[in-house]
Amino acid sequence: MSGILFHKYGGEDLDSYYPIRPECQADVPKVRFKARAGKTLSARRWHAAFSEDGHLDIAKVLRRIQRGGIHPSIKGLVWEFLLGCYDPNSTFEERNQIRQQRRDSLDQGWHVDGAISDKKVLQWMLGLHQIGLDVVRTDRSLVFYESETNQAKLWDVLAIYSWVDNDIGYVQGMNDICSPMIVLLENEADAFWCFEHTMRRLRENFRTNTGMIGVQSQLSTLSQIIRTIDPKLHQHLEDLDGGEYLFAFRMLMVLFRREFSFVDALYLWELMWAMEYNPNIFSLYESNSSTSDGRQVNDKQLKQCGKFERKNVKTGLPDKTSALSVFLVASVLETKNKKLLREAKGLDDVVKILADITGNLDAKKACNEALKIQKKYLSKSKK
């Protein structure tokens, strides 16, 4: 049905998938994303990308997403692959088994043995209070969260995650990352694993216990990128005491959630994940290996990489700090280059100028600009 709908209404109203509460209409950024027939990955094209036994032609799917995002009717299913929850080379049957195992393991996860320290329990309980405060504030404009059942799902997933991640636990902002998974995936366990896989990319952003903030390594990469591609702007920001780029902290921490409408944030994420996709992501996560070898690909696999990742693989860039999000922030700074040089007399001005992008940023354009900046940065770095 969704495939037919999609062809009939190329620019259909996506608000019907994520309705906004009437009293919040005026406060939310305008939605810019339109599902476009022939560009956006439709339900029909998605189903056609599988072989009879369930092997997914991921290269074909990535091309389509990079052109026009994913239709809302299939977003959750596609995200599970983009985030490495499933291997595109697996069969329907293998994936059903994994899905069932994960659902069972989550049910059993609460029935833990007695060998748990009081300290861990206490730490976890303290985190639950913060989760409770944050859940009621999350995406309040969505009709979806008027339901206490849906709020409870978000609470559950964050509570379980904070228990499982011994090292970092729960940190404010994780609720913004988790919320779309709750909206897109009906089953709580599926939403949890989707969030858990997202956090494998982002958890270092939330590390705050080492005397430095986790986003700092990305901010120093951002500084390096701007210094390389736009020395004049970098010098200007240095003169304003903004050389550490802390004004970009929030954009990186919660992946532009505050700069975009809900629909456009989802569109931006899936574009980024498609561009950063590496076919080894599933086996890398399953083996729990943090070595970079897992990203090495042969020629056949290179064709299954997203545009951004392909470039990284060819040039051998480390993955963590050279994430696409860092180049995205660089592209935002570049679009505001003249205004920053002309009008920013202090850090407050920088923050004000960058705040103008809220609701005015085109996700597709921003990603394409980020790719151009990556190319420019790599060629200048070589010299």
Lowest pLDDT segment from 233-242, 288-297, 374-383: 288-297
Pairwise pLDDT comparison (379 vs 14), residue with the higher score? 379
- Residue 19 is classified by DSSP as P
Q: Tokens standing for 35?
A: 């599902």
pLDDT tens figures, 165-198: 988 899 999 999 999 999 999 999 999 999 999 9
Domain 209-382 = CATH 3.30.1490 = no
Higher pLDDT, 54 or 212: 54
pLDDT at 319: 52
Q: How many CA atoms lie within 13 A of 327 on its CB side?
A: 26
Average pLDDT over residues 58-79: 96
321: pLDDT strictly greater than 70: no
- Report the DSSP beta bridge partners of residue 350: none
- In this prediction, residue 114 carries a pLDDT of 54
User: For a pLDDT cut of 90, what percent of the chain falls above it?
Assistant: 64
The total of other beta-carbon atoms located within 10 Å of residue 225's CB is 26
Query: Which candidate, 317, 306, 321, places its Cα nearest to that of 371?
Result: 306
* pLDDT score recorded for residue 111: 54
Q: What is the pLDDT of residue 15?
A: 67
- What is the reported pLDDT for 289? 57
> Which tokens sit at 112?
């833990």
Q: How far out from the chain centre does Cα 300 lie?
A: 26
Please tell me what DSSP assigns to residue 41. Answer: B
Statement: residue 260 has pLDDT above 70: yes
Determine the CATH number of domain 115-200. Answer: 1.10.8.270
88 vs 313 pLDDT, higher one: 88
| Structural domain spans, the chain | 20-100, 115-200, 209-382
Lowest-confidence segment of 50-59, 74-83, 99-108, 129-138 by average pLDDT: 99-108
Q: Quick one: average pLDDT of 17-32?
A: 90
Band of pLDDT at residue 7, cut at 50, 70 and 90: very low
Question: pLDDT tens digits for 29-64?
Answer: 888 888 888 899 999 999 999 999 999 999 999 999
Secondary-structure breakdown of the chain: helix, strand, coil percentages, each rounded to the nearest 5:
65, 0, 35
- Model pTM score: 0.91
Backbone angles phi, psi at 207, to 5 degrees: -75, 125
Q: Comparing C-alpha atoms, which of 172, 179, 198 is closest to residue 140?
A: 179
**346 sits in which H/E element:** none
pLDDT band for position 300 (cuts 50, 70, 90): confident
First to last CA, the chain: 54
| Residues, the chain | 383
Contacts 24+ apart (CB under 8 A), 135-142: 135/175, 137/175, 138/175, 138/176, 138/179, 139/176, 139/179, 139/183, 139/262, 140/21, 140/24, 141/20, 141/21, 141/24, 141/27, 141/28, 141/262, 142/18, 142/19, 142/20, 142/21, 142/183, 142/262
Paired with 142 in beta bridges are 20
Share of the chain above pLDDT 70, in %: 89
pLDDT on residue 99: 96
**Per-residue pLDDT at 39:** 93
| Other C-beta atoms lying within 10 Å of the C-beta of residue 22 | 8
Per-residue confidence (pLDDT) for residue 208, from 0 to 100: 75
How confident is the prediction for the chain on average, in pLDDT? 88
User: What pLDDT sits at residue 12?
Assistant: 60
- Residue pointed to by tokens 């504030």: 137
Q: What is the pLDDT of residue 8?
A: 43
The yes-or-no verdict on residue 11 having pLDDT over 60 is no
* Cα gap 380→376, rounded to integer Å: 6
**Token pair belonging to 356:** 């103008």
Structure confidence at residue 160 as a pLDDT band (50, 70, 90): very high
Q: How confident is the model at residue 212 (pLDDT cuts 50, 70, 90)?
A: low
pLDDT-based confidence at residue 292 (cuts at 50, 70, 90): very low
pLDDT value at position 105?
86
pLDDT over threshold 80, residue 202: yes
Query: In the 3-class helix/strand/coil scheme, how is 269-335 assigned residue by residue?
Result: HHHHHHHCCCCCHHHHHHCCCCCHHHHCCCHHHHCCCCHHHHHHHHHCCCCCCCCHHHHHHHHHHHH
> Nearest-5° angle of CA 351, CA 131, CA 247?
10
At 88, which amino acid appears? P
